[in-house]
Copies of this chain bind each other. A is one copy, B any other.
Amino acid sequence: LGVTVVDVAKAAGYSAMTVSRALNRPDSLPAATVAKVREAAAALGYVRNRTAASLRSSKSHLVAALTPTLTGRVFVDAIAALTQGLTDRGYHLILGQSGYEGTSGDELLEDIISRRPDGVVVVGTMQSPRGRQLLQASDIPTLEFWELTKNPIDMLIGFSHEAVGLKVADFLAARGRKHLAYLGADDRRSVVRFHAFRKRLKRLGLPEPRAEFVPAPATLGSGRRSLGRLLDAGVELDGVFCSSDTIAAGVFYEASSRRIKVPRDLAVMGFGDLSFAQDVDPPLTSVRVDGAGMGALAAETLVRKMLGEKVEKPVVDVGFEIVIRKSA
């Protein structure tokens, strides 16, 4: 592994430069030369050193992702697609978790920048002012991911959690539901959906919705218990909007154990359209978000920018879709 281009050059009877060229841009040399170099490289077990290459060319071919603790199926799909898209284009993804409070977000960011990534994906949005400044000063192409926000640093791919809340409120209201509740995790995006949900209901002249929040990540059990609490408190209810399909599944269980019929007595909406949504009883009406698609688009967009091409649409709202099944 201590083999360098110079060693390969000697073995092949060329100079280091020719080796470099043969390996990186084989088209610019006679096939014969390339062949000899490749042979020598293989014989010596040469593996190029991208650290050195990065230093010299100031291109790291590295993209850093800053994420809160990864959780949620759709989200994992998105990261997987992002990773794949980058890998396919010759980039590697390095992961930085901003979730835990061990390192402050800004420390993490500086840590990341010290690697001189060619691009950065910020999941959620960069809150800290110093962080934003650091990113802009470094003029590293930056893409915010997952949620639409008002002042993107540069590129942004996501969907509007507020729009979700509004649309679901309309949807349930249009179906004649009046006494609604929101059951969700307490992460920020879920809270945003709730506020929009409430706001729209108010505008529609419907009663203030009840809300039950539980610590993320929400589980089936917490959904079950959330509904239980509401019902035990005697709250009148004919529809619930859950912050995840998992919670909705819990609602199904609790409703069933109390002989409450879905959707007759209670309309249930989930979020995420997980794979099981179509297979539960009744099939779950949910909000679908294309995580994998977002990840792939993010990879493509970011790479384009990193290559210096112009990105025609730096901000993309990928939207969402209400998948209507039987539960609401």
Binding site for B on A (CB under 8 A): 1, 45, 47-52, 54-55, 60, 62, 69-71, 76, 79-80, 83-84, 87-88, 92-97, 100, 102-103, 108, 110-116, 134, 137-139, 217, 219-221, 224, 246, 249-250, 253, 256-257, 275-276, 278-281
CB closest residue in chain B, given A113? B47
A87-B83 in contact (CB<8A): no
> Which residues of B sit under 8 angstroms from A114, Cβ to Cβ?
47-50
Q: Do B96 and A92 have beta carbons less than 8 Å apart?
A: yes
Q: Which residues of B contact A54 (CB under 8 A)?
A: 51
With A51-B116, A116-B49, A250-B279 in contact, is A1–B70 under 8 Å at CB? no
Residues of B within 8 A of A108 (CB): 87
**A275 adjacent to B97 (CB under 8 Å):** no
Do A221 and B276 contact each other (CB < 8 Å), given the known contacts A69-B80, A116-B51? yes
A84 touches B113 (CB 8 A): no
Q: Report chain B residues within 8 Å CB of A219.
A: 275-276, 279
Closest to A246 in B: B276
